[in-house]
A and B are shown apart, each in its own frame.
Chain A
Amino acid sequence: MATGFRYTARGIAGSLPSAERALLGKLFGDVIELLTGRQEVHALDDEVDPLYALTGMRPSDAQLPVPSDPAVHRLLPDASQDPELAAEFRRLTEADLLSEKLGRLREGQLLLESEKVHFVDTAQATRFAQALNDVRLVLATRLEIEDEADAERIGQVLDAAEVQTQEDYLALVYNLVSWLQDSLMSALLNEQA
């Protein structure tokens, strides 16, 4: 079992067994794939003024559809309960949010390649926590965690020996990621204290 992340005199670090690092790297990769799939929806028609592509903006008549995959929708949620305002917000900002999330996930993947994950500063540890959280959000959507009772039920799957179904395995992975995230939060909160 890994020891998770710790706040040390030389910053926040964690040593993870190679199997866990490989698993996490794979999970980060899955979320990257989901988000790059969404980026394809952003492509503009050929007739649209190329200036839009250069500036990264979208014309007002080129609204982005709400993501059909609930996991992608959870990563790129609606900014308002007013559908018009939410659509406008999505059109203007989703591309940035996507590339920010992708950047953090790719940075995280790189960090996981070394045996000891050592963050250069708090900002980097925070970005890793954000990427880890995106992984948790996707897993939670797949596990259909919709309320506290669901979360509690899933949280009880802790013993690898008892895993029987695909869902059990997913739950086990989710709990591992949650535990890592929580250890990283303790380390970050300790640093702030």
Chain B
Amino acid sequence: MTVMPDVYEQTESQVVQEKSWRLIVWNDPVNLMSYVSYVFRSYFGFTREKAEHLMMCVHQDGHCVVRSGSKEKIESDVHAMHGFGLQATMTQEV
């Protein structure tokens, strides 16, 4: 019979607070308002009101921060937006 050595977990770890990333959607004269609104509802699961509000924000202000989160999450959002043909970029919060 043998005993496995105890493994001590490293309990002290340095938590580096990574600044979150933002998903920005840009206005363009081609994408239909109904389409942008539908994309916001179906992809993000936003309510009709929130989707319309964000769509108008993009339309009127030229661009809008649609959501923020970890780098991985925002990267996959940007990829999805490009799949829908929306102009989307990512930027890290300052």
- Which residue of A136, A150, A151, A185 contacts B38 across the interface (Cβ within 8 Å)? A185
Question: Are the C-beta atoms of A189 and B79 separated by less than 8 Å?
Answer: no
Q: Map CB proximity to A onto B27-55 as digits: 1 under 8 Å, 0 otherwise.
A: 00111101101100110000010000000
- Residues of B within 8 Å of A134, CB to CB, are 85
- Residues of B within 8 Å of A189, CB to CB, are 34, 37-38, 41
- Residues of B within 8 Å of A181, CB to CB, are 32, 35
A193 to chain B, nearest CB (A): 8
Q: How far is B30's CA from A85's CA once the two chains are assembled, in angstroms?
A: 26
The answer to the question of A57 belonging to the interface, with a C-beta cut-off of 8 Å to chain B, is no
The answer to the question of A107 belonging to the interface, with a C-beta cut-off of 8 Å to chain B, is no
Q: How far is B8's CA from A92's CA once the two chains are assembled, in angstroms?
A: 37
The answer to the question of B78 belonging to the interface, with a C-beta cut-off of 8 Å to chain A, is yes
The answer to the question of A81 belonging to the interface, with a C-beta cut-off of 8 Å to chain B, is yes
Q: Map CB proximity to B onto A74-92 as digits: 1 under 8 Å, 0 otherwise.
A: 0111111110010001000
Q: How far is B18's CA from A133's CA once the two chains are assembled, in angstroms?
A: 36
- Residues of A within 8 Å of B84, CB to CB, are 130, 133
Question: Are the C-beta atoms of B29 and A75 separated by less than 8 Å?
Answer: no
- Residues of B within 8 Å of A150, CB to CB, are 29
Question: Are the C-beta atoms of B83 and A97 separated by less than 8 Å?
Answer: yes
Size range of the chain B interface in the assembly:
20 to 34
Question: Are the C-beta atoms of B75 and A89 separated by less than 8 Å?
Answer: yes
Q: Map CB proximity to B onto A104-146 as digits: 1 under 8 Å, 0 otherwise.
A: 0000000000000000001000100110011011001000011
Interface of A is mostly: helix
Question: Are the C-beta atoms of A133 and B85 separated by less than 8 Å?
Answer: yes
The verdict on A79 contacting B82 (CB below 8 Å), with A182-B34, A189-B38 known, is yes
- Residues of B within 8 Å of A101, CB to CB, are 83
Which 5 residue pairs spanning A and B have beta carbons closest together? A185-B34, A151-B29, A140-B30, A133-B85, A79-B78
Interface residues of B, Cβ cutoff 8 Å to A:
29-32, 34-35, 37-38, 41-42, 48, 75, 78-79, 82-85, 87-91
- Can you give 18 contacting A-B residue pairs, CB < 8 Å? A80-B91, A89-B78, A96-B79, A129-B38, A130-B85, A133-B31, A133-B35, A134-B85, A136-B85, A145-B29, A146-B29, A151-B30, A181-B35, A182-B34, A185-B34, A188-B42, A189-B38, A192-B42
Interface residues of A, Cβ cutoff 8 Å to B:
75-82, 85, 89, 93, 96-97, 100-101, 122, 126, 129-130, 133-134, 136-137, 140, 145-148, 150-151, 178, 181-182, 185-186, 188-189, 192-193
